[in-house]
Amino acid sequence: MNRLLIASGGGDCPGLNAVIRAIVHRASQEKDWEILGSIQAFNGVLWEPSEIVVLDMQKVSGIHFQGGTIIETTNKGGPFAWPIKKKDGSWDVVDRSDEMIRKLQFMGIDGVISIGGDGSQRISQKLFEKGLNIIGVPKTIDNDLSSTDSTFGFQTAVQIATESVDKLVTTAASHNRVLVMEVMGRDAGWIALNAAVAGGADVALIPEFPYDINIVKEALERRFHRDRGFAVVVISEGAKPKGGVVSVRKNEEIGYNNLRLGGSASRLISELKAAGFKQDMRETVLGHLQRGGVPIAYDRVLSAQFGVKTFEMALEGDYGKMVSYRHPKFISVPIIDAIAAPNLVTEDNQLVITSKGLGICLGI
């Protein structure tokens, strides 16, 4: 019997269940393959007692359109930085990766499929370097992983953000206001830029292009005539003013090492007021609405393709690789290449050129 263990790590994302289902469906066509799932990324392996579930055809039936992940996820800790409480009450981290690999051997696991974004794939690479048979699947709504044309979940987030812009346009127009909508995107502005183009926003501010507040103010003023008019701004959570830093929220969750971003929209409103912008403004923070709910058809299809290809990589023993979409093919790329540099928006990107052509102000 060959045994594959699936773990989903990092923030959840629409399409995770569709990937899991596709792996199980493809595996069911081969003799002697068992698919297992570790609850909450690798926690399920490391916990005592461990929490591992059998993923068979019955278990994955109908999950392809369910949001979230049936095997849960976490973006805290991990095998290389497992939080432990010290005697004085403070927290430290320990490396439990060797112990985890031993446990996986004891469980008879032949290979691991790690579905996750940049942070999870860094863990995958380190585990591969320690000898674990591991395959990565690129998951993030931010679409900031390179070596693949797209990550699953991204298009669903863009759809949700676009529908929100559509809604904000009608209320902004009724009240002659500026509506500023904050979307996810720590380092990459793909969600903001796509939603701005699709929704017809006036301004899109993204992490890659620190904005000049006066340029933003002038663009918004052009949308008003004698106090009549309206505008919609889409801003990434990771956007920052020229010479400034990202807007961060306090976070005391144990084992959570990312900066918790948030507040870029309200900061922009304060900056616009300080710069002398006179019209009424309101903010909307889309937050985790972008990560919840059913995946759109595009992401279900992409997830299905990733899942089937991933199982075939395991069949061939193609480990240390991440499944990747390179239109029109699904290929495998070394995980180390996929994490070498993030997929960021650049000035020469066609979508930036299109945005400028539409008259969207990028704050630069």
Enumerate residues 6+ apart whose C-beta is below 8 A from 135.
111, 112, 113, 114, 310, 313, 314, 318, 319, 321, 322, 323, 332
Contact between 261 and ligand F6P per CB under 6 A: yes
Helix intervals (H) in 206-325: 213-221, 264-274, 297-316
Report the residue number, 142 or 309, with the smaller CB distance to ligand F6P. 142
- 30-69: which residues touch ligand F6P (CB under 6 A)? none
Residue from the set 60, 123, 141, 302 that interacts with ligand F6P by CB under 6 A: 141
Q: Based on CB atoms, which residue is closest to ligand F6P, 98 or 253?
A: 253
Q: Rounded distance, CA 276 to CA 279, Å?
A: 9
Q: Which of residues 266-295 bind ligand F6P (CB under 6 A)?
A: 291
Query: Is position 186 an interface residue for ligand F6P (rule: CB under 6 A)?
Result: yes
Cross-strand pairs, 260: 249
Q: Does 120 bind ligand F6P (CB under 6 A)?
A: no
Q: Which two tokens stand for residue 329?
A: 């093919």
# of chain residues touching ligand F6P (CB under 6 A): 12
Applying CB under 6 A, does 140 fall inside the site for ligand F6P? yes
For residue 184, state whether it binds ligand F6P (rule: CB under 6 A): yes
Place of tokens 């793909």: 190
Q: Which residue is nearest to ligand F6P (CB)?
A: 184
Query: Annotated catalytic, 142?
Result: yes
Tell me the chain's radius of gyration from C-alpha atoms.
22
Least distance (Å) from ligand F6P to the CB of residue 142? 5
Cβ atoms 21, 64 nearer than 8 A? yes
Query: Which residue among 142, 144, 187, 299 is the active-site one?
Result: 142
Considering only residues 234-253, where is the footprint of ligand F6P by CB under 6 A?
237
Report the candidate in 323, 298, 335 with the shortest Cα–Cα distance to residue 26: 323
The verdict on 192 binding ligand F6P (CB under 6 A) reads no
Q: How far is the CB of 233 from ligand F6P (least distance, A)?
A: 18
Closest CA to 46 of 86, 96, 87: 96
Residues of the shown chain interacting with ligand F6P in the complex, contacts defined by CB under 6 A: 11, 75, 117, 140-142, 184-186, 237, 261, 291
